[in-house]
Structure 1
Amino acid sequence: EDLGQFIIDQGVDVAISREMVIDHGGAQPVELMFGSLTAKPVIPIFVNGVAHPFAAMERIRLLAEAVGTWAANLDKKVLMIASGGLSHDPPLPRWAEATDAQKEFLLHGHPDQADRDAREARVTAAGKANAAETGIIDINPEWDQKFMADCASADPTRFDHYTAAQMAEDAGNSSHEVRTWVAGFSALTAAHGGYQVEYEFYRPIPEFVAGFGLMIAR
């Protein structure tokens, strides 16, 4: 609540949720690093990287800069985690073309292990097939590495020129997940006045039709 009010006071409108359910993108990094979701106090911040309408990158940067300024005033160690895929365009239903059953699942579905296994099978099958045959946009390592270079620059204004339409065309409909990266690095810049990337890894993973990247900065 305090963070939400601080962000609003900086001129960025946000809302808070008392019962937001976070998905694998938010839960898995915390579980892998600390063993459980409750091992450390966590404030999940949702940045839409899934479906239209998408906020302009500048707005995401301004939101995150407010978060970073707030965190800098805490007498605590703060770890900022941003989780999302790079270029990828998995064979998933889009809202505009989805059936009623698919829309119901997108809104209210809670996938069990069988659902997750089926989804993974669809993705790996698409990865083994030719991208042109499946109608998906292939991995774009050049785009991925350019984006990671912008992350490493410690200049979040570089993200402002990214547009939703160009991202989808160049890197696939799910490349919008990198908006979390934009938020993370923008917050880190505001908190420290800059940062240095200490570790960087990139690998395209054809079987999952995705570019995988990892960066650690402080």
Structure 2
Amino acid sequence: MPVKLICASHTPMMDYIHPPAAVEAEARATFASLAEDVAAYDPELVVVFAPDHFNGFFYDLMPSFCVGLRAACAGDWDIGHGPLNVPEALALDLVRAVQAQDIDVAYSYRMQADHGFTQPLEFLCGNVARYPVIPIFINGAAKPLPPCRRAVALGTAVGRFLGGLSERVLIIGSGGLSHDPPTPQMGSVPPEVEEFLIAGRNPTPEARQRRQENVLRTGRLLAEGQGQSLPLNADWDRKLMTLFATADMDALAALRDEDILAQGGRGGQEIRAWIAAFAAMNAMGPYQAVTHYYHPIDEWIAGMGMMSAVPAPRNALAA
């Protein structure tokens, strides 16, 4: 089956705070070039591995993994609107296939997909509903988190399922790389914030605006070398991208929460989405990966990276 992978950092701040013009231009140009590749490839199915930022998933029932059988945009940061084009029967087949491989995955007939899903779909596919898409949530924000080895296992199971299809498949991994946004955590915040973390769906426009302003303020401070966010970590990001390029699944599976937090910040835990995406690609055979872009952009609180991969040519395998 034809398959292509793209993994990219996301940041909802791109339309709100601007880094130096040349830096922003290169990042946007790389997204545009990848979008042209996607259009030429014309996928018949897109599978998106992505985290959530307490916009669609909350502590009232927090799964490690969840497949959207039906999904719509959460509406955060005004990125994406309306329903995603989820092929329900195929998504349910994927759930059954993954469960048959002993991966206990939740599933939802009313998934709210936040910017972790919608931004890559907007940037790479043109809009959230252009292609049939199966969204797969991986918890990268709400402790306790699934171990990275389970992200490898999930991705491997999904890849085995996708390998049996005849459609042109695009796998997207969304998240990271290093970044440390002001994400609240249970046990260290006031009761009213805990209540939001438990059941904060569909906030008022005013509440959403206050949240977004807090994130924007963090970006401005980080760009000025101030604030309490962990600095972006280009060395850690590049080492991770090397692990992806070389398909070192053992090293990726061995990543520990405390090390990710120390090196990549709170948002660095989202790397699980990239891990699952590359594990899915790896499950279908050896691949060749290309790094298209990397730059740590303080204003966006993100180590911005973009990679792609395609199956290795047969002559390369023979060599």
Does the alignment reach a TM-score above 0.5?
Answer: yes
Match of 1:162 in 2: 255
Match of 1:185 among 275, 278, 297: 278
* Counterpart check, 1:201 vs 2:293: yes
Deviations 1:20-67, CA, capped at 9 Å, x for gaps: 101001011112223322211111111111121111111111111010
CA contact (8 A) 1:127 1:208 kept: no
CA contact (8 A) 1:199 1:216 kept: yes
Match of 2:237 in 1: 144
* Counterpart check, 1:135 vs 2:228: yes
Q: CA deviation at 1:96?
A: 2.2
CA contact (8 A) 2:218 2:229 kept: no
1:58-207 aligned within 5 A: 58-106=149-197, 107-110=199-202, 112=205, 114-115=209-210, 117-130=212-225, 134-191=227-284, 193-207=285-299
Please state whether the residue corresponding to 1:30 is helix, strand or coil: helix
CA contact (8 A) 1:61 1:183 kept: yes
Structure showing the higher helix proportion among its residues: 1
Match of 1:212 in 2: 304
Please state whether the residue corresponding to 1:88 is helix, strand or coil: coil
AA aligned to 1:123 is: T
Q: CA deviation at 1:176?
A: 0.3
AA aligned to 1:210 is: A
Greater CA deviation, 112-121 or 41-50? 112-121
AA aligned to 2:258 is: A
Please state whether the residue corresponding to 1:45 is helix, strand or coil: strand
CA contact (8 A) 2:182 2:215 kept: no
Percent identical: 36
Q: CA deviation at 1:181?
A: 0.3
Q: CA deviation at 1:207?
A: 2.0
AA aligned to 1:88 is: H
Q: Which aligned runs of 4 or more in structure 1 are off by greater than 4 angstroms? A: none
Please state whether the residue corresponding to 1:86 is helix, strand or coil: coil
Q: CA deviation at 1:109?
A: 4.2
Please state whether the residue corresponding to 1:93 is helix, strand or coil: coil
TM-score by length of 1: 0.91
Please state whether the residue corresponding to 2:217 is helix, strand or coil: helix
Q: CA deviation at 1:157?
A: 2.0
Unaligned regions of 5+ residues in structure 2, if any? 1-91, 311-319
Structure showing the higher strand proportion among its residues: 2
Q: 1:116 to 1:40 in 2, by over 3 A?
A: farther
TM-score by length of 2: 0.63
Q: CA deviation at 1:210?
A: 2.2
Cα RMSD for the two superposed structures: 1.8
AA aligned to 2:154 is: L
CA contact (8 A) 2:245 2:290 kept: no
Cα separation, 2, equivalents of 1:127 and 1:135: 8
CA contact (8 A) 1:89 1:171 kept: yes
CA contact (8 A) 1:200 1:215 kept: yes
Q: CA deviation at 1:128?
A: 3.3
Cα separation, 1, equivalents of 2:287 and 2:115: 27
